[in-house]
Amino acid sequence: MAALDLFGRRGLLRILWELRGEAPLTFRALAAAAELPPGTLNARLKELKAAGLMATEGAYGLTPLGRDLLAALEPLVLWSEDWARAYPPTDS
Amino acid sequence: MAALDLFGRRGLLRILWELRGEAPLTFRALAAAAELPPGTLNARLKELKAAGLMATEGAYGLTPLGRDLLAALEPLVLWSEDWARAYPPTDS
DNA sequence: GTTATTGCTATGAAAATTGTAGCGCCTGCG
DNA sequence: CGCAGGCGCTACAATTTTCATAGCAATAAC
């Protein structure tokens, strides 16, 4: 399951998530949204480009494949809402 | 989206995936299946325990909440099959 | 020319991960 | 008893990844 390994890089899922809107983001906006330092963001961006998920026409947005992935992530987001209810983010 | 941060630890999703069977695994079997050194596996196990996903009644298995997560991961697995078709794991 | 914002690289320190060795604890098994 | 084998898990040093910050070259506006 190579995809599971790809997702196991810090911030990668988060980047996808921050790109869920329609409008693409700038490098700096994405860094701020995903709370990643530029070096890490750039590394992830390269991986996402190589995986065919990231479009970089001027600004950063998702390819159709990336949009599919985002859709496939939807149940996981729903689960995480339930989970956050059961395990509220009070402490560390 | 705290859950997305939790998943961004190396091997965590992989562990979940390896636990998809009915029978729980031993520590060593899980380490072998997920291809993780014992130190990392133990760190993940603690995080999963703390998140209420991991049951440790003798051997390691998923709690009902963990099973829900696994179910929520299903579309992602389907997506990854499509993705593997589009981006075959030939090169680096 | 000055000011502002952009994408992105550089750097040194801190944190995470790796591979391997091995401890203490059981369970046979003769 | 004595000893082999598996178990969960810790210890350690080396490597890799991530971090936070500073800053450069380019572009645009004024």
Contact flag B8-A2 (C-beta cutoff 8 Å) = no
Would you say the C-alpha torsion B57, B59, B45, B65 has a positive or negative sign?
A: negative
Q: Provide the CA A78 distance to its chain's centre, in angstroms.
A: 16
CATH architecture of A2-86: Orthogonal Bundle (1.10)
Q: Write the pLDDT tens digit of every residue in A65-86.
A: 999 999 999 999 999 999 988 8
Is residue B41 within 8 Å of residue B7, measured between CB atoms?
Answer: no
Residues 15-74 of A with CB under 8 A from B: 17, 51-52, 65, 68-69, 71-74
Q: Write the pLDDT tens digit of every residue in A8-56.
A: 999 999 999 999 999 999 999 999 999 999 999 999 999 999 999 999 8
A2 touches chain B (CB under 8 A): yes
Q: Write the pLDDT tens digit of every residue in B31-86.
A: 999 999 999 999 999 999 999 999 988 899 999 999 999 999 999 999 999 998 88
A5 touches chain B (CB under 8 A): yes
At position B3, the amino acid (one-letter code) is: A
Question: CB neighbours (10 Å) of residue B88?
Answer: 9
